[in-house]
Amino acid sequence: MFGRYSRATLAEYLKRAAWIFFVIIIGYLLIASIFSTCYLGAYSYGTASGATEVNVEHTFYIRDHFLWHMIVFAGFSLFLVFGRTEKAKQVVSGRYFGAAVCLAAGILSVLLVLAGQYYPKYDQRNVIEAAARLNQHIYSDFEEGGYLFVFPFQTGVVLYFRILCFLFGNENQVAFQIVNCLWIALAYYFFVRIAELLWGERASCRSWTAVACILFFPYLLYASFLYGTVAGMAFALFSFYMLLLYEKTPKVWYLLCSALSMGIAMVIKSNYMIFMIAALIYLFLKLLQEKEAGFRRALPRLLLAGMFLGVFLLGRLGVDEYITKAAGEEIEGIPMTAWIAMGLQDGKAAPGWYNGYNNRIYVENDYDYGETSAAVTEEIKRIVRGWTKDPAASISFFVKKVSSQWNNPTFQSLWILEERPGSGGLDWLLSGAGRYGYIFFVNLLQTWILAGVFAYAVLRFKKSSMEEIILPVTFLGGFLFHLFWEAEGLYAILYFPLLLPLAVRGYGEWRAYLLAKKERIAADSWNSGEGKRFKRNLIRCALAVVFVCAVSYTDPFAKLFARNENTGAFDTYTQEVVNEMEALP
């Protein structure tokens, strides 16, 4: 007993607390998505010397056309009630429909890769070239100032690409991108299977999750992103799948696969540690919930928690040992706290985005870990002291930071392709009508996803199983982590796809609710008590929507949701792009 509460009751309270927090965060992101949005683009500004500088990674905070989002939601709700035919149900209920759609997503991403064939830039390029040098037994990256000397935590993803270089040839970026397409198809397939495990053998959840995945076009474009993102996602989701599969069919090798797969994901990209922490939280809640199960039932979950931590430590030790042998000495690199300091600073792109501080402070302190760490700690203290003196400025900072990465519907999927040499097959998507058609689509899609997730979080609040908490907790972990860590759409894309199966299930719950209301009203007429109650609720909802729409034009609302800050500048930027396109021969 924990006071007057049993362990099972405590587990339920903790789950509900996490669920309420999830509802609040999703609700905030949904309102932000309806009334405002963020885009990346070029922005010219004057410097202190009088020169003009162009920032190609500037975040525009602009007002959104909320009526479009409301029309899409209302139209889709009508489709859920009246538009599903028996023939359509037969098609999507096919046993292999979900797998076929995931395969189609993989093929589509291959076509996008072959159309573009873009060479990587920035960190991607550094990773690929470092892997190629290691395959040639050149270890200059571990020397002072080298890429892996400064960023030793990138050694895992470099070793991953070293394997690909060995298989397909050094710097064969097209082959690497096609491998990414395989990881994307597998990740989508694991989403389908996770949906099936969470909500039973319901063909609708399985099949429509696959459809939602292929519609999430930004992730398909990440096939061209040569980093650890899509590979790590596939392994992390496979770990979740094995964990949930164990709950259905207890087999020890499922636990082993889950732990090993999560370990690989964390070696490839350290951000997937948040997925591991979410799995550990789930295991802890499950142990509390099953108070009558006894030690024998609890042992496998305790074993899995130990294996998670074990493979994490072995992965870290293995990579550290490799670095020490390759460099001839122990390398510490930039202190991780430098990314927190940078995540709390303003930047040219947006608050909390990359501004070069972590590299600069390391160089300024002559690559000394201790001195750099002390300087970073002082910087963090300075920032926090500034917030205590001006709380309004700190709130504005975090509002813009959150909006810049979670309310940017492209998730930098166009930015990762821009200014890269290639065949030019996707240039139509990067500029002109293609670019803005794509932005318009993903803007509506993002709100559609968040609306479905909000319906899921509200309608399944009391009846969700403990297994369902694993995806919301992982999303919350990513949201909270990047509230203080460096922010970018590149990081948000690690967590936002987790919402896809939740959105599908949410719309299923929403459809069931609407159909139940429809049947009751049809049986008792609109003048019955149920009909009158529904009409009153409908009027209340309409009035609430009108009220929120009116409030959205106020200054407090604009500040709370980063609405309309750069609309004028963005309109100017848009017109400049259009003029450039019209001037082309």
pLDDT digits (tens, 9 = 90+) for 311-322: 888 888 888 888
What is the pLDDT at residue 402?
93
- pLDDT tens, position by position, 221-259: 999 999 989 999 999 999 999 999 988 888 888 989 999
CA distance 315 to 309: 10
Q: What is the rounded average pLDDT of the residues 107-115?
A: 94
What is the pLDDT at residue 53?
67
CA distance 145 to 129: 15
User: Which of the two residues, 71 and 207, has the higher pLDDT score?
Assistant: 71
Q: Which phi and psi (to 5°) does residue 426 adopt?
A: -110, 15
Q: Is 52 helix (H, G, I), strand (E, B) or coil?
A: strand
User: Which of the two residues, 172 and 348, has the higher pLDDT score?
Assistant: 172
- pLDDT tens, position by position, 61-70: 888 888 999 9
User: Which of the two residues, 529 and 490, has the higher pLDDT score?
Assistant: 490
One-letter amino acid of 297 = R
Q: What is the rounded average pLDDT of the residues 50-58?
A: 71
pLDDT band of 584, cuts 50, 70, 90: very low
DSSP annotation of 497 reads: G
- pLDDT tens, position by position, 375-430: 999 999 999 988 888 888 888 899 999 999 999 999 999 988 887 777 778 888 88
60, β-bridge pairs: 39
Q: What is the rounded average pLDDT of the residues 334-363?
A: 90
Whether residue 278 is predicted with pLDDT greater than 80 in this model: the reply is yes
- pLDDT tens, position by position, 486-501: 999 999 999 999 999 9
User: Which of the two residues, 576 and 405, has the higher pLDDT score?
Assistant: 405
CA distance 446 to 98: 21
Residue of 119, 125, 123, 155 whose CA lies nearest to 139: 155
Question: In sequence order, what E strands does 9-118 have?
Answer: 36-46, 52-63
Write down the pTM of the prediction: 0.91
Q: What is the DSSP track for 220-233?
A: HHGGG--SSHHHHH
Q: What is the rounded average pLDDT of the residues 286-305?
A: 72
What is the pLDDT at residue 444?
95
Half-sphere exposure of 464 (CA within 13 A, CB side): 25
- Candidate from 11-20, 469-478, 574-583 with smallest mean pLDDT: 574-583
Q: What is the rounded average pLDDT of the residues 27-48?
A: 83
What is the pLDDT at residue 472?
96
What is the pLDDT at residue 567?
53
How many angstroms separate the Cα of 27 from the Cα of each of 21, 274, 494?
Answer: 10, 22, 20
The structure tokens listed for 496 are 């936002």
Q: What is the rounded average pLDDT of the residues 531-550?
A: 82
Per-residue H/E/C for 140-171: HHHCCCCHHHHCHHHHHHHHHHHHHHHHHCCC
DSSP annotation of 566 reads: S
How many angstroms separate the Cα of 575 from the Cα of each of 57, 439, 582?
Answer: 18, 16, 10
To the nearest whole number, what is the mean pLDDT of the chain? 85
- pLDDT tens, position by position, 154-209: 989 999 999 999 999 887 899 999 999 999 999 999 999 999 999 876 557 788 89
What is the pLDDT at residue 405?
92
Q: Give the whole-number percent of the chain exceeding pLDDT 90.
A: 46
44, β-bridge pairs: 54
